[in-house]
Structure 1
Amino acid sequence: MEPSVVDKPFLYDAFISYSGSSNRNGGATFDRQVAERLIKELENYRVPRSLTRNLSQIPNIQHRLKKVFLDREEMQASSSLHNSLVDALQQSRFLIVICSPRAQRSRWVNEEVALFRRFRGKEYILTILIEGEPEESFPLDLLGGQPRGESSDNGDAADLASLPLASDIRAPNRQQSLRLLKREKLRLLASILGCRFDDLYRREHQRFIKRVTIAVGLLSLICLLLISLSVFLWLAEGRAQRNYDHALEAGAKILPLVLLPHEDLPAKEVHLTNAITIMESLCDEDKRNARCLENLYTLKSALFSVQQMLGKSIEAEGNFKASKELIAPIALQRLREWDPYRIPKHDDLFSELPDTQNIKRLYNLLSIWDQPMGAPPRVEDAVTYAEYASEYLLALNTSTLEGKKEAHRVLSKTLQMFQQVDDRANLNETHELLIDELTVALKKISSE
């Protein structure tokens, strides 16, 4: 006994038959375009979960169809086209026919319909009308075996009421037809899955609404995140500016007191320690605030001197090392702040003239290092030179040709110092970042 429709194991859920003839230019016809689009739509369709529990037409159905056979595609890989065609038709639950005037004239389409009708019957044939009227587009076997305009023994050969279920995607142009295919595929799927079209369409509409709702929700969430990020950046920028202002204020109030002579060294040590604590909190909030780092460096250096005078050699040595470790970060942050296209706006420590005392001081310090050295420089020497060079760049007016040449000379010399160090093993991550920033700065001024 032949297995029932439900029990019989089919390899394909559907077989798509279409006219594979070429157009006048040798390209694929609209039939092939619809067939290729249809197989993607069917195989990629996810069956709603609420339907899979109630479907009985397909054994063990999950969320997708098993496979759809596209005859002109898969027969080409076989050595026997006829055997492959017959086997594929026998292994298919449904036959989907792409109907057009070309399909009615196609020998292959008509033979496929006749073979499948012999294997499975007319009730498992589904049609999709893409061009022309049904009587001029349906295969002859579905029209009673008579050409258009002739009559069969049973009367009218074009009795459309007896034709298999047809999906209609006819439209004024092909783009509109392919858009209709998105809806009409549900009519084919309803027959293949054994459910009502209205149920499938309603669930597809609900799925669409759900997707739109999720998309709108995600878009709203992204907008909220962008707004939050903008507010956060605005607050962070304001906080950085406040920290910079606080650092300036702290430097203006603390540093003069530190640098003035003070007879009570223990009290001075306490004041310095408290000032360092305050300055470190500012630096922690804004790790790229060069002014904070500079003030912290001055405070630690002053505390080192006080502790030396008090005989606290161990504490003094610790503050000395801590102050030295700040030199590379200070130079790094200065370089990040440096803009070769901007004329420096000097504060009270500088005048508007290019030959300020501070620039002369920095120029003289750099000139000392420019003298020939008896031995390769150490990492500490290169970092110190980078500190003077970065401060020099901030004060230098690079809007002039002379300023650009001087900046290029100093940056080249700084990189050369790092390249010639004899203890490269002592280069740490901060030193590497400093070297990278020096390279970027040199490229900036070289492109001028």
Structure 2
Amino acid sequence: MNADETPATASPVPAPRYGAFISYSHHDKVAARRLQRQLETYRIPRRLLGRATPHGPVPARLPPLFRDRDELNAGADLKASVQEALAASRWLIVVCSPDAARSPWVNREIIEFKRLHGEGRVLALIARGEPFASNTPGREASECFPPALRFALTPDGRAEGEPLEPIAADQRAEGDGPRRAALKLLAGMIGVGFDDLVQRDTQRRLRWLAAIATASAVGVVVFALLAVLAVRARNEAQHQRAQAEGLIEFMLGDLRKKLEPVGRLEVLDSVGEKALAYYAEQHADRLDATALGHRSRAMHLIGEIRDLRGNAVEAQAAFEQAAATTRQLLLKAPGDGQRIFDHAQSVFWVGYAAWKHLDGRAALARFQEYLALAQRLVALDSANLDWRAEVAFAHVNIGGVQLGMGRPSDALASLRQADELLRELAPKRPEFASEWAQNHGWLAETYAALGDYEHALREQQEKLALHQRMADSSKSRVAQRSIQNALNIISFFELALGRPHDAELHSRAGLKMADNLVLADASNMLWLGDACFARLRLIETLVAQSRHDAAREELTAATACVDKFLAGEARDARYAVGLRSRLLELTAQVVQAPGRGELISKLQALLASTDMQAKGDAHLAARQAVEISGAAAALAVLAEPDRRDVAQQAWKRVESALAPFAAMDDGAVLTPLARARLGLGDVKGAQALATRIEKTTYRHPAYAELARRLQTARGGSSHTSN
């Protein structure tokens, strides 16, 4: 459908009476008034008048613009006068900001206009916030485009169709600026090229300056001409720089969005190198605020691409360059909230890159700086919910790093502060519910690291409940995956508490959701991996109930799932090793005598190709070590009756993998470590660990088996029997 066509389902509309309908949130009324004044009073250059365009001859001025001054509550219907104005408007201009993105009234006006005129006559003016920020976890509150602007209408009139990339002018300082943004909109409305309009506008200004100059004394004329030449030279230099920076931003922004889903980020590597070289040649102290803003944003984009490509060191370098730029901007205006916010985001990315680079100390320092900046924002405006949320996000990040550094008690304190803030903010701003749910997940992991699985279970149940209560959670695949993961972790915690029947129920519920996701997109390897882990969790719950026949039946489907995952284009090697280890470990627990020899060979091959020294932060490395050592323990148990040397070597590998984490209070780590020490004949060492586990709430069936073996060993056996 072209811009002039009307959908077949729409009713006939009168000839346009208004040049455009300006839709905006009441928070942006100043920007809306200024835009209306700029467009209605702008006199189109004479050389363009009457030029034939797809929208008809170029007029001398735009028809009047309609700017609605009222904003109804979310439950009200569109006023008849507003509906009439929408029908009688040739264009719709949406003043975009985070407030507009959250305004149901603005969203309804867009839907109504599209229903009447189609998708092609909607223009956007970015006043504040960031476009498409809702696609980036943690940045949803900065989104400036309303949903109806980001998605096409479905046949039944809902903004849930294919994703769109709306035509937008950017009046922010780091974008086009107010005047150029207005000219962009005007060019689109009258159907001429933006450059034509800018050129004619510039020429008209210069002619006006020249006329003023000729009326002055000769000396003044000379100086005026020199000034004009200087202005033109400066403008030309700025224009060329803006073009270069705009091209870089397009390639690293819009082009990246198109290439990332198909895995072609390597195409952007050379662009990133050119961008880095370009900005390396720029003298930051000679750039204005707009150019500095372009520079920092480009550095952020380059850093994100480097991170996605797995180049953590190079990503951190780009983030640090961006932080240096935003720091310089902040020094020029230390009381400017937007400058503080921009620098806070830069500092966050530097901390994030350090975290990914396994530099916990550097990450913690940056996240603490991020927290201090967020607190400065709240001091400026304590009523700003977005800024208060930044404080909560900083506490979440700090807690995650502290947990990764092996400091769960400190992490618990940080995450509780985040929980207190998010508990207050989420009812006022529904989009914060997702962040609140994730914080419950971090709290669950922290309690588990402290050995308190009862609290861990409750926190994970809170996370599940929050996700289930979110709007459209039954339709969103992202929400469905979050719910599926929560069910799987709840099953793990219930099993750790010695409740295998409850664990089985939640495991089956999670598996059903995982299978549905795989059916929706069989090419999504991440969802397939989730389904494989869910099947393995179900088998574990059946083994814990001594239902070995049922476990063997499920094992067939689990093996097929893991084989399919390993045959696909899985990018996460650790994920693949975890699946293989868990599959062989559980197979060993239900295998019958004829298959023991073949399974021993498979376990030996896996361990020979796997580095037992887990990598990552302390928390992640401990989980990884447990997964890998499970396969080694399974080999030891299978080999012990007939091949004592193989068994002893396997127990040594378990002990070596888990010993670095012996100071933790997590029974999931201590139980296999105690079992290995018992297998190596260290009854006293195993008993000491068992005593520590007894003081926690960890009561996994594996711990019950350890206690039984310890009792046998204390009864006189020189070594444990199997």
Tell me the TM-score range normalised by the shorter chain: 0.3 to 0.5
| TM-score, reference length from structure 1 | 0.39
